Structure 1
Amino acid sequence: MPPKRLVQDVRTRWNSTYYMMESLIAQKRALCAYSAEHDLPATLCARQWGLLEKIVAALAPFEELTREVSSSWSSASDVIPIVCVLKRVLSRRNESDEGIRTMKITLLEAVNRRFKDVESEPLYAVATLLDPRYKDRYFTSVEISNQAKAALIVEVRKMEEVFKRSTSDSSEPAEGTSCESAAVEPASKTPRMETASHSRLESIFDEILKESSVEPAPQLTTSSACIEVQTYLSEPTIQRSDNPLLYWQVNQPRLPTLVCTAAKFLCAPSTSVESERLFSTASIIIDERRSRLTAEKAEMLIFLKKNLPLMLK
């Protein structure tokens, strides 16, 4: 067998413990053979190996979703659907859970406690509605969904007023207020789309979409903002492997105000991981040996490091 090194865990990173257990299971045959020929101070019995495999299977969704929300292309719209899928996975009971049932119950309680108010946060709720892959299909109750829709209509009306003011002040729209300047032109295929297609939890996302029924809300007003929102939400969702920014680029003439609102909310990242990676990039570029590196040149190098791969793609 090719020589391999076992992974060691780090206390500050939970997924390192997951990777350590995963590497142990991958080298199970070699470790059992070595322990049979040498007098080791501690070894794992068959029951412990079985528990280890079950624990890795239970933590696999956490690891996959952690990587997804920590990626550079993750958006705030991913948070509510991911929490919904995680609760669905942990709440399922089957015969293979023998020995880890208490662990799954504890994990589910922790997820409910930590994310109990996530659907009430306007940023996450509106961003989820504006993502054509999710819309209103992942909210846990009709009441919360209606509150999110009301918040979305308020934001669309604000954007509509800003756009009207900018066009009335001058014949040319003010810089940064038009939908063309707000919309982001995405690549035809992004890393997110490629990884999403290989997700082990894709069936859970599809299952929740099939269960959610779309009920047309009564049209209480004929304002253009409400008409755009109702038209958009009444349409079917796109595939999770599709690019939401590309969707808004294509539908810009049909839903102009919603495009501006989507550009405002979908640019928000779901975690601070990418910001921390930016600081790590700066610490690599700015070194004590490069004492003549000016702040301006350092900023240019950091910008190229983070943006050049996107431009080349």
Structure 2
Amino acid sequence: MSRRSIRVTGLQKKPGSSWEVKCLLCLRELVYNNNTSTMLRHYRSLHVNVEATQENPGPDKNADIAELLVNMVVEDSQPFSFVEGTGFKKLFEALAPNYVLPTRKTLKAMVDKRYQETKEKAKAVVSKAQAVSITSDLWTSINTESFLAVTCHFIDESTSLQSVVLGVQHFTEAHSAVNLASTKTALMTEWGIRDKVTCLVTDGAPNMGACARELHLRHTTCVAHSLNLMVRKAMENSLEISAIRSNCRRIVGYFKSSTTAKLVQEVETRWNSTYLMFQRLYDLHEPVGAALAGLRTDIQPLSADTFTIIKDCLKVLEPFNQATTELSEEKRVSGSKVIPLLSMLHCSLEEEEIGMIQTAESREMAQFLRRQLRDKLNNIQSMSIMYLSTLLDPRFKKIGFFSPNQAVDAETRLISECAAIIRHHQSSSSPSPSTPSTSATQSVEQGSKLWHRFDATSQQTGTTNVTAGATMEVQAYLSEPNILRKSDPLKYWEQQKAVYPNLYKLAVAFLCTPASSVPCERALAHKI
């Protein structure tokens, strides 16, 4: 009997029967006839391969375990030292006793290798993009440590929207526009997109706007941040509503610290938190009022008149809550949605809608919001990156505009952009200057007055033909019925890129711009 077979089998006497052995691996009983043949046959047929695999996982199994370890660090943000924990070692000893756990230093090297491999793959994908938009955000911790995040958004060769985190860097310099621009330039250069950026999307901080000017990039402010600021200004404009907010914060703070009431506290930097605080208090106003009445506290319960004001405020703010939530959660094309969405918000604050609000304080807030929205719309509709993306979105086209006149101007600009694409294509496909062509003849004849009028007319005719071709393509596209609002505009362009080849190139360049800087904030929340 081999040494292994002795270890896995035992000899025992059954009452009233012959000697038998029991396999310690499967507990099967075998007849013992003073030799080991039966035991060896059983072990070799059922256990030898299984046990060898368990004790010697092999290179493929070890590689799989190593990959899972790296995934655990990356996905769960685990520290490298967790592999040296006593409990984790015991767990691995039970699950994979023959796998040698890496040290924290080795694990760090494994994660660094994965990072470089993933980064190179991402660079290869980004390098194929025709145009990109970037979003940027700066975050400072309670320990005054700052981090700068930059994300890149583009439409790939299959007409699908892609996003890549270019970097989340520890930012130790002063938060000046020059320093921000220097860091972003280094990232754009490293990723090879310096000449491909069509727009930079950030929050409304002055240094971010100045940074875009320093980089000579188109700049647009995160719409979700803008709506948040609009709501705050409108509320702060009313002394009565400001007092209600203050009292609501005290009530929520009291219950959040002493009970398990499911109330929501207002947070200055969190979008829609005021709306959610009002909504939850209004929904729970009876139990909250009863609790305050029975407790020894100097906090006054909210009156019936106050709840009427809160109810009206919720009516006014509900569309804003829907808009910011929709823009923040959007995983498809979103920049083209800004003008139509703000137009619909403005419609929700029409005079007849405001007239249905009972309280004067809420009506005043609604009117203030309406004025702010009109100013914001006028500003956004003058930005080429916004109105061209709206016009190039087959869901909206011209009917997405707040102003019909602005829609006409946008169409004119789109024709101009389309004509520029056609001219660029013609110039890139024409013979080079070194090739013998009519260029040499033209240079000789330019001095002759005989052909001057003909040459000028010929050149003008060529320009007219380009503009006419661009006009026909744009008008044919705009004359088509709009696709459904919930449809994917990029699927439309993938199907129509052969029909409208020049507009397709413009759609790839302009529809990649996101409406908000939320992708950057998600990167910061995940990385830090």
Matched, 1:262 2:524: no
* Separation of aligned partners in 2, 1:136 and 1:84: 13
1:59-98 matches, cutoff 5 A: 59-71=317-329, 72-94=331-353, 96-98=356-358
* Separation of aligned partners in 1, 2:289 and 2:415: 62
Gaps of 5+ in 1: 171-219, 285-313
* Separation of aligned partners in 2, 1:274 and 1:73: 12
Matched, 1:6 2:268: no
Bigger mean CA deviation after superposition, 226-235 or 68-77: 68-77
Aligned to 2:522: 277
Structure 1 residue 262 displacement after superposition: 0.6
After superposition, give the CA deviation of every residue in 1:255-281 in whole Å (9 maximum; x if it has no partner): 111111111110111222223323443
Q: Specify whether residues 11 and 135 from structure 1 end up closer, same or farther in structure 2 by C-alpha distance, changes over 3 A only.
A: same
Aligned to 1:150: 412
Bigger mean CA deviation after superposition, 91-100 or 153-162: 91-100
* Separation of aligned partners in 1, 2:308 and 2:289: 14
Structure 1 residue 50 displacement after superposition: 1.9
Matched, 1:119 2:364: no
**What SS does structure 2 have at the residue aligned with 1:97?**
coil
**1:10–1:16 Cα contact (<8 Å) kept:** yes
One-letter identity of the residue aligned with 1:228: E
The structure 1 residue matched to 2:306, chosen from 34, 48, 52, is: 48
Q: Specify whether residues 10 and 124 from structure 1 end up closer, same or farther in structure 2 by C-alpha distance, changes over 3 A only.
A: same
Aligned to 1:230: 475
After superposition, give the CA deviation of every residue in 1:78-116 in whole Å (9 maximum; x if it has no partner): 111111111111124245401121111111112223332
RMSD: 2.5
Matched, 1:134 2:396: yes
Q: Specify whether residues 142 and 92 from structure 1 end up closer, same or farther in structure 2 by C-alpha distance, changes over 3 A only.
A: same
Aligned to 1:102: 364
**Structure 1: 4+ residue segments shifted above 4 A:** 165-170
**What SS does structure 1 have at the residue aligned with 2:396?**
coil
One-letter identity of the residue aligned with 1:32: G
The structure where strand makes up a greater share of residues is: 2
Q: Specify whether residues 147 and 53 from structure 1 end up closer, same or farther in structure 2 by C-alpha distance, changes over 3 A only.
A: same
Q: Specify whether residues 265 and 141 from structure 1 end up closer, same or farther in structure 2 by C-alpha distance, changes over 3 A only.
A: same
After superposition, give the CA deviation of every residue in 1:29-66 in whole Å (9 maximum; x if it has no partner): 32133234435531012221122121112101111111
One-letter identity of the residue aligned with 2:340: P
Aligned to 2:495: 250
Structure 1 residue 4 displacement after superposition: 4.3
Aligned to 2:285: 28
One-letter identity of the residue aligned with 1:223: A
Structure 1 residue 169 displacement after superposition: 7.0
**2:346–2:373 Cα contact (<8 Å) kept:** yes
Q: Specify whether residues 138 and 234 from structure 1 end up closer, same or farther in structure 2 by C-alpha distance, changes over 3 A only.
A: same
* Separation of aligned partners in 1, 2:476 and 2:377: 30
* Separation of aligned partners in 2, 1:74 and 1:221: 30
**1:68–1:74 Cα contact (<8 Å) kept:** no
Aligned to 1:207: none
Q: Specify whether residues 164 and 142 from structure 1 end up closer, same or farther in structure 2 by C-alpha distance, changes over 3 A only.
A: same
One-letter identity of the residue aligned with 2:316: A
* Separation of aligned partners in 2, 1:59 and 1:280: 27
Gaps of 5+ in 2: 1-259, 433-464
* Separation of aligned partners in 1, 2:376 and 2:302: 34
* Separation of aligned partners in 2, 1:53 and 1:169: 70
Aligned to 1:192: none
**2:333–2:489 Cα contact (<8 Å) kept:** no
After superposition, give the CA deviation of every residue in 1:220-269 in whole Å (9 maximum; x if it has no partner): 98732211100111111111111100111111221111111111110111
> How many residues get paired?
233
**1:229–1:258 Cα contact (<8 Å) kept:** yes
* Separation of aligned partners in 2, 1:280 and 1:14: 15
Q: Specify whether residues 33 and 69 from structure 1 end up closer, same or farther in structure 2 by C-alpha distance, changes over 3 A only.
A: same
* Separation of aligned partners in 1, 2:470 and 2:376: 34
TM-score by length of 2: 0.41
- Of structures 1 and 2, the one with the larger relative CO (CA 8 A, separation 6+) is 1
**2:338–2:515 Cα contact (<8 Å) kept:** yes
**2:419–2:466 Cα contact (<8 Å) kept:** no
One-letter identity of the residue aligned with 2:512: C
After superposition, give the CA deviation of every residue in 1:2-25 in whole Å (9 maximum; x if it has no partner): x64211111233511111111112
